[in-house]
Amino acid sequence: MKMDRRFFAESLVVRLGIALGAIVLLALAATISATVFAELSTGKAAAINIAGSLRMQSYWITVQVLRAGDSNHSPAELRQAVADFESRLHSPLLAGGVPSDLTDPTRRAYDRVATEWSGTLKPAIARAVTEGAPARDAFVARMAAYVLDVDRLVYLLEHDLEQRIQALRLVQGVALFAIIVVMFVALFLMHAQVIVPLADLLACARRVRVGEFAVRARHTGEDELGQLGQSFNYMVEDLSRSYATLEARVQEKTEQLARTNVSLEVLYHTTRTLAENALTQTTLDGVMRDIERVIGLKPAAICAREEDDRRGFPVALQAGSEPSQSWCQLERCEECFAAGAGDSGVRIVGRGEEQMLSVPLSEGGKPYGVMLLRLPAGMQIEEWKMKLLESIGHHIGAAFAAAKRSDERRGIALLEERSVIARELHDSLAQSLTYLKIQVTRLKQQLKSGGTRERTDEVVEELKLGITNAYRQLRELLTTFRLRIDGRGLSEALQETIREFSQRAGVEIQLHDRLLGHELDSSEQIHVLQVVREALTNVEHHAHARSAAVRLAIDQGLIRVAVEDDGVGIKDAEAPTHHYGLAIMRDRAATLGGKLSVARRAEGGTRVELEFSPRGPFQVATSNATAAA
């Protein structure tokens, strides 16, 4: 209830509502009073008019009485005059205009006029007509007094009506005055408590809009606009505090963005440097210079280690850094790597002048070494710098891991290539040399036994032919071993090979390559190129062809490589004596997991076809696309 009374007492809406309600009530009261007066005054004018006519009718009756004394005059007019008087005296209009209260002066005056007429004047009219002049004189005297009573009745009726009009005037005047007063009060409230506070709030809002936060609303009462003013002041205070700290926040965010940009720049330079250059002392020195420029710590060394090895070896050592040189001793490796093993994060190792910041170099949770940075005593490293060092450590660790994997791949590739060279030497040149050794043994036996010249010449010719074949095979092997694609792609290497054989053998060779260039990996490209070269070598030396064609396509996920010519055609699929080209091609097909077919063409010539399933990174996608088609 206290809140309700306070609300009604302090609410601007309630006060203005009361004022407007008062105006409405006063106007309604004035209207109702006028309506009630009109209802109460109905018939008053008619009653006054009838009462006034009674005086005239009284004079007319007097005239008729005086004339009734004349024998020649008819008494009918007198009777008519009396009847008219009585009808007017007892008229409902006159009776309705007279108050019903018996004590009212107007009522007593009416009753007196009615009683005087019925009790005195009406009997006197009959005597005045029959008794002669004295009776008429007495009647005239009584009628004069009666007219005075009628006049008083008329006066009282008029006075009652005037009193009612005066009362109506008073009520309407008071209501009008009260309405005017309430209107002025409402206008004053509107001006003082609505217009002025709103103007003040609007002016304050305009000043706040241009950045003046010291402004305050003056109207802070308990009404609605006062509460709005208080809220406005609180809002301006909050804005003032916010703008006071906004510049500091903007500065802080700017510094954060600057640190983020620096971190991204360093990470980008580090990643690019490690990706584009070999992992050498010079490359790591460039990375350490970037770290010193951004972090503000002088690098000491970058040490690497093999897995399960407690000792490390410095791969980058800052020149002229005596603390780092004294630190990087074998007996202290366990301290560094224990602090920087795995993904344990950046840590501090050592004390005093030898205090170092150890950054682990790891990739996928596997440690590859640490990076040491000289940390002055008492110096605190910011969190963003620590995170940046961890990221750089991961990038360097990834570079170590990539270098190690690259070395492993090169070693495996070298072993595979040596195996291929050994196999090809064994299948071709070694067998030719074995055959020559046998022929030399035969020649020696012929010379010791004194064989015929024809047998000796036959052995010599076979030796000569064997040496020629061995020399040719050696040249082919050298050409094969020197074969490289050099990043130009298989299509460019095939075109160069076709130009070489076309010029050397004088044979027109066409290339139909329907591969997109990404179906085969590098090893498969080398094997395909060598098979094509071996097939073209056979065309050059044995086919006696005028034209040839090399076709490459992919069909239902299988790579098909075909070399066709229009020469004499191969007699059978077995290699002639001392010729190992077909065997080498079949070995390469087996290495690719495919098969090699050699057959005569119906229209003449030979067709060599290699078919295998690629193992490259796009094998699955190609197979799926072919199956969907």
Residue ending a domain, choose from 183, 211, 242: 183
Residue ending a domain, choose from 400, 433, 464: 400
CATH number for position 371: 3.30.450.40
**Nearest-angstrom CA–CA distance, 556 and 537:** 30
Residue 615: both structure tokens together: 């193992």
Mean pLDDT of 426-434: 68
The reported pLDDT for the residue numbered 70 is 58
**Nearest-angstrom CA–CA distance, 73 and 77:** 9
Per DSSP, the three-state class of 510 is strand
pLDDT higher than 70, residue 147: yes
The reported pLDDT for the residue numbered 2 is 46
In which band, very low, low, confident or very high, does the pLDDT at 541 lie, cut at 50, 70 and 90?
A: confident
Contact 289, 321 (CB under 8 A): no
pLDDT higher than 90, residue 85: no
Tell me whether residue 36 is in a domain. yes
Tell me whether residue 470 is in a domain. no
The reported pLDDT for the residue numbered 550 is 94
Q: Based on the domain organization, do 21 and 163 belong to the same domain?
A: yes
Selected residue with higher pLDDT from 518 and 301: 301
Contact 92, 64 (CB under 8 A): no
Percent of the chain beyond pLDDT 90?
A: 5
Q: Based on the domain organization, do 170 and 273 belong to the same domain?
A: no
Most confidently predicted of 178-192, 230-244, 387-401, 593-607: 593-607
pLDDT higher than 80, residue 178: yes
**Nearest-angstrom CA–CA distance, 356 and 325:** 12
- 433-478 tens-digit pLDDT: 777 777 787 777 777 777 677 777 777 777 777 787 777 667 666 6
State which H helix or E strand residue 600 sits in.
Answer: strand 595-600
pLDDT higher than 80, residue 375: no
Pairing mode of beta strands 595-600, 606-612: antiparallel
DSSP 482-496: T---TTS-HHHHHHH
Q: Based on the domain organization, do 49 and 168 belong to the same domain?
A: yes
Contact 528, 610 (CB under 8 A): yes
Write the CB contacts of 354 (distance below 8 Å, at least 6 apart in sequence).
323, 326, 327
Q: Based on the domain organization, do 270 and 171 belong to the same domain?
A: no
Mean pLDDT of 58-76: 70
Query: Whole domain around residue 32: which residue ranges?
Result: 2-183
Lowest mean pLDDT among 324-328, 531-535, 614-618: 324-328
Per DSSP, the three-state class of 212 is coil
Residues shown for the chain: 629
**Nearest-angstrom CA–CA distance, 90 and 51:** 10
Q: Based on the domain organization, do 367 and 492 belong to the same domain?
A: no
In which band, very low, low, confident or very high, does the pLDDT at 625 lie, cut at 50, 70 and 90?
A: very low
Mean pLDDT of 283-301: 79
Specify the residue for token string 């030796």.
463
Selected residue with higher pLDDT from 2 and 353: 353
Mean pLDDT of 466-494: 70
Residue 396: both structure tokens together: 């360097």
Tell me whether residue 231 is in a domain. no
Q: How many domains does the chain contain in total? A: 3
- 561-594 tens-digit pLDDT: 999 999 888 876 555 544 557 777 888 888 888 9
The reported pLDDT for the residue numbered 1 is 38
Percent of the chain beyond pLDDT 70?
A: 79
Lowest mean pLDDT among 393-402, 455-464, 556-565: 455-464
Residue ending a domain, choose from 183, 213, 236: 183
Write the CB contacts of 272 (distance below 8 Å, at least 6 apart in sequence).
none
In which band, very low, low, confident or very high, does the pLDDT at 622 lie, cut at 50, 70 and 90?
A: very low
pLDDT higher than 90, residue 313: no
Tell me whether residue 405 is in a domain. no
Q: Based on the domain organization, do 159 and 271 belong to the same domain?
A: no
Strand partners, 598: 608
Mean pLDDT of 77-98: 79
User: Half-sphere exposure of 284 toward its Cβ, with a 13 Å CA cutoff?
Assistant: 24
Mean pLDDT of 48-63: 80
- Mean pLDDT, the chain, whole residue set: 76
Tell me whether residue 62 is in a domain. yes
pLDDT higher than 90, residue 609: yes
- 6-34 tens-digit pLDDT: 544 567 677 777 777 878 887 887 788 77
In which band, very low, low, confident or very high, does the pLDDT at 611 lie, cut at 50, 70 and 90?
A: very high
pLDDT higher than 60, residue 421: yes
Q: Is 242 left (phi over 0), alpha (psi -120 to 50) or beta?
A: alpha
CATH number for position 522: 3.30.565.10
Lowest mean pLDDT among 53-67, 226-240, 337-351, 353-367: 337-351
Selected residue with higher pLDDT from 461 and 600: 600
Tell me whether residue 475 is in a domain. no
Q: Based on the domain organization, do 12 and 131 belong to the same domain?
A: yes
Lowest mean pLDDT among 177-186, 228-237, 243-252: 243-252
Tell me whether residue 388 is in a domain. yes
- 342-373 tens-digit pLDDT: 445 777 777 766 677 778 887 777 777 778 77
DSSP code of residue 544: -
In which band, very low, low, confident or very high, does the pLDDT at 538 lie, cut at 50, 70 and 90?
A: confident
The reported pLDDT for the residue numbered 610 is 93
Tell me whether residue 589 is in a domain. yes
Residue 339 burial by Cβ neighbours in a 10 Å radius (0-12, 13-18, 19+): buried
**Amino acid letter, residue 386:** M
User: Half-sphere exposure of 274 toward its Cβ, with a 13 Å CA cutoff?
Assistant: 21
CATH number for position 130: 1.20.120.960
The reported pLDDT for the residue numbered 563 is 94
pTM confidence score:
0.46
pLDDT higher than 50, residue 553: yes
The reported pLDDT for the residue numbered 235 is 84
Q: Based on the domain organization, do 132 and 275 belong to the same domain?
A: no
Residues of 421-443 as b/e, b for ≥16 C-beta within 10 angstroms? eeebbeebbebbbebbeebeebb
Q: Based on the domain organization, do 41 and 165 belong to the same domain?
A: yes
Lowest mean pLDDT among 53-57, 230-234, 414-418, 490-494: 414-418
